[in-house]
């Protein structure tokens, strides 16, 4: 599926915002564990690598489902997805993108 560049970039930006914000709130030990061996840039790069999957889910929704989210998709779903990614990494857990999206979309 080909995604519009501007929508994909906006999705990536909100993923990064959520992931980095949560990363910076972590204690030193959790922060170190999350970026161990990869650094912060790779941590964020891995978070934004989910942008096509997250945006693809948006595009696969019906218009009625999209209307339910309105303009809050970026804040309530995409940014929260980035936070969930960071939480998993900070806890040393594997991240399940599909399960996270399902949970956020309720």
Count of structural domains within the chain: 1
Range of the domain at 9: 5-105
Mean pLDDT within 11-36: 92
CB within 8 A of 82, min separation 6: which ones? 14, 15, 16, 17, 18, 19, 20, 21, 22, 47
User: What local confidence, expressed as pLDDT, does residue 42 receive?
Assistant: 94
The predicted-structure confidence for 28-78, as pLDDT tens digits, reads as follows 998 988 888 899 999 999 999 999 999 999 889 888 888 887 668 888 899
Cα angle at 6 between 15 and 42, to 5 degrees?
35
Q: Confirm whether pTM is higher than 0.85.
A: yes
């Amino acid at each position: 599926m080909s995604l519009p560049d501007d929508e994909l970039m906006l999705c990536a930006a909100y993923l990064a915002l959520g992931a980095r914000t949560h990363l910076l709130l972590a204690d030193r030990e959790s922060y170190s564990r999350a970026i161990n061996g990869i650094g912060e840039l790779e941590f964020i790069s891995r978070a934004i690598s989910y942008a096509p999957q997250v945006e693809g889910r948006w595009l696969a929704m019906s218009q009625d489902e999209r209307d339910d989210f309105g303009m809050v998709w970026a804040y309530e779903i995409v940014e929260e997805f980035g936070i969930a990614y960071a939480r998993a990494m900070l806890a040393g857990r594997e991240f399940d993108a599909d399960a996270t999206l399902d949970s956020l979309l309720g």
